[in-house]
A and B are shown apart, each in its own frame.
Chain A
């Protein structure tokens, strides 16, 4: 009997310890515990610890617990499924795990429209006043096409065609401004054994396709495609976009498809550094990602928009935006909103910018130097417009992934395993199914 009591006592103690460990609260301290989850991207993790330290210094009643990882989705998802949600998440769309997209589809995000009218802690202006014009009110920030903002743009970066400026200077080549010039350059380069185009994986074609669609048919057509307008992929504009892409893919380097996977994608990126290919779609993070890679003599990163679809036509620059959002199940909503507002303060922006994490805050791009400054200068060209957003969110449709249909098929076009008309037809089918699903 005595032994049974001892065992029961041990079990109760162990359970109590477990419960104590799992609660993770600090109820006794009187502080609000704010759980922040962030993706550790190309900008590193130090900037977050510095920003949190600065915030805690001015908010002694708040304890910010940071969870940061290169695969943050894998770490927070099990807890979220168990009902333990972070209060603030810094994670964009377009990631493989698609956590942000899933919560958007579930309508499980907190409406952050009030944050736009909130004063930035320690400053006079509101968050909305500080944000660069045009970064709010698109399908990326307002995924349901309403005036409600659920995802606030945290960092922005131009994406487009990256190339070696040194190679162009050496050969006296001009960066093409029309598609005709592009293909002429492709023929010239081919004679030197250089391919016109490559991509790391087909998924990187988001940096290419969104801009192309807007270049070809304007913003209205782009929005029609993104919101699945009926038979939009059967239109002349869609055909033109696919014609141009099919032709461009015929100039792709031979090794592109074989290396376009998770293991080998840097070998495709390396082909730009080795002068084996001229252009690849990518984002500004490429400079950091390939910083230690060997490169051809005189190599300098260059970034350009896609060639204009018509002579003198407007050119769009797909802008990658990483977002900050709150799950609607977050526990400390008021404190979280205040923290988010602080992320747009001059103090925080300065810390972020030191790690090249550029926020869409008025005037910040002017403070940039070096390579980054050159990339962001593209926005100053009056014929270039920033393009933010992507496909509108719908209710999930079994077996339909329009981004995979649009991007991944490029592999089959290059290898000749499918045709442009089959591609167009598959896109129209997928778009129609998503249109019918609605949101």
Chain B
């Protein structure tokens, strides 16, 4: 048995455990990433983080993105999955395909698509608003510091929504039809059926996907921010990973970057734990 596991364990140790431990180790040093000069500074890098306004801003942005994007993606994913599973929609398969497509696109393509959508002069969004005589609603979507983060968030939702919708559709379609028929005979509305039958029966799936989504959203936010805004204007859309990258690789503060990496690790771990605890329920089966 151990012999079978050994290759996997070795790979896991080399590619997962060792780099992770190394991130923790490097966070106690000042080092540029190149020179052999590494100075042990203990918790100094972490002390700097507390006073670093840019880091605090990046942290706030990350939390805001995670909350908003998770709620919207999960909410819409569940809603659309329920509609597509329970209602006899015409063109359902086509709609499912259209919503799923963004998931297979490269993030760089998504950034380019949204760059065109958000273009302040010739973009689809402002163009549509002009067409609807809603000129006052037009925005500089990637230039307004108050909304740029949410502009990135919308791109994240667009990219992820289809995948989670399909995931939930697959769980929902396995729920026996008799349960809904019985509930219908008892006079339960569609909403009541959703909250009393669908949600409890796909709860384990929902829990797992929620944790998975939050972790992947941390990564996705970095890639999209890098491609769409570069963290700007003036750091207003900076997220933790993009700030870590800047410090480690362009500010020659590799140790400091690793300290940010440790914070991301601990933060992700705690969020997963929190989500896991908060969503723990007795599993229901049919």
| A-to-B contact residues, CB < 8 Å | 80-81, 96-98, 101-103, 105-108, 201-202, 254-255, 257-264, 267, 396-401, 404, 408-409, 411-412, 415, 417-418
Contacts and interface: CB of A to CB of B under 8 A. Distances in A.
Nearest to A101: B252
B33 interface: yes
A399 B141 contact: no
Given A105-B252, A201-B230, 16 more contacts: A81-B33, A81-B34, A107-B35, A202-B233, A255-B120, A255-B121, A255-B143, A258-B120, A258-B144, A261-B229, A396-B32, A398-B48, A398-B253, A399-B54, A399-B251, A415-B233
Given A261-B229, A262-B227, A399-B256, A106 B32 contact: yes
Chain B residues touching A, majority SS: loop
Nearest to B30: A396
B140 interface: yes
B143 A106 contact: no
A396 B253 contact: yes
A409 B234 contact: yes
B251 A401 contact: yes
A97 B250 contact: yes
Nearest to A400: B251
A396 B251 contact: yes
Given A258-B143, A262-B230, A396-B251, A408 B32 contact: no
B44 to A, nearest CB: 8
Given A255-B121, A398-B256, A106 B229 contact: no
Contacts of B54: 399
B275 to A, nearest CB: 30
B145 interface: yes
Interface of B: 30, 32-35, 37, 45, 48-49, 52, 54-55, 111-112, 115, 119-121, 140-145, 227-230, 232-236, 246-247, 249-253, 256
Contacts of B35: 106-108
Nearest to B53: A399
21 contacts: A96-B250, A98-B250, A105-B32, A106-B34, A106-B37, A201-B230, A202-B233, A255-B121, A258-B142, A258-B143, A261-B229, A262-B230, A396-B252, A396-B256, A398-B30, A398-B251, A399-B52, A399-B256, A401-B251, A411-B232, A417-B145
A389 B32 CA distance: 22
**Interface centre among A80, A102, A412, by most B CB within 10 Å?**
A102
Chain A residues touching B, majority SS: loop
B220 to A, nearest CB: 17
B154 to A, nearest CB: 16
A80 B230 contact: no
Contacts of A409: 234
A411 B256 contact: no
A275 to B, nearest CB: 15
B112 to A, nearest CB: 7
A347 to B, nearest CB: 34
A233 to B, nearest CB: 17
A399 B45 CA distance: 10
A102 B34 contact: yes
A397 B251 CA distance: 8
B245 to A, nearest CB: 10
B33 A260 contact: no
A405 to B, nearest CB: 10
A102 B33 contact: yes
B115 A264 contact: yes
B242 to A, nearest CB: 12
Contacts of B249: 97-98
B234 A408 contact: yes
Contact of A263 (B49, B115, B256): B115
A187 B229 CA distance: 31
Contacts of B115: 263-264
Contacts of A261: 142, 228-230, 232-233
A258 to B, nearest CB: 3
A258 B232 CA distance: 10
B121 A102 contact: no
Given A81-B33, A258-B142, A417-B234, A263 B52 contact: no
A400 B253 CA distance: 10
Contact of B45 (A105, A202, A398, A417): A398
A411 B234 contact: yes
* 7 closest Cβ pairs, A-B complex: A258-B143, A411-B233, A106-B35, A258-B140, A257-B143, A399-B52, A398-B256
Contacts of A398: 30, 45, 48, 52, 247, 251, 253, 256
Contacts of B140: 254-255, 257-258
Contacts of A263: 111-112, 115, 227-228
Given A261-B230, A398-B52, A411-B234, A102 B120 contact: no
Contacts of B112: 263
**Interface centre among A102, A105, A398, A404, by most B CB within 10 Å?**
A398
A418 B233 CA distance: 12
**Interface centre among B111, B228, B232, by most A CB within 10 Å?**
B232
B27 to A, nearest CB: 11
A140 B256 CA distance: 26
Nearest to A397: B253
Contacts of A401: 246, 250-251
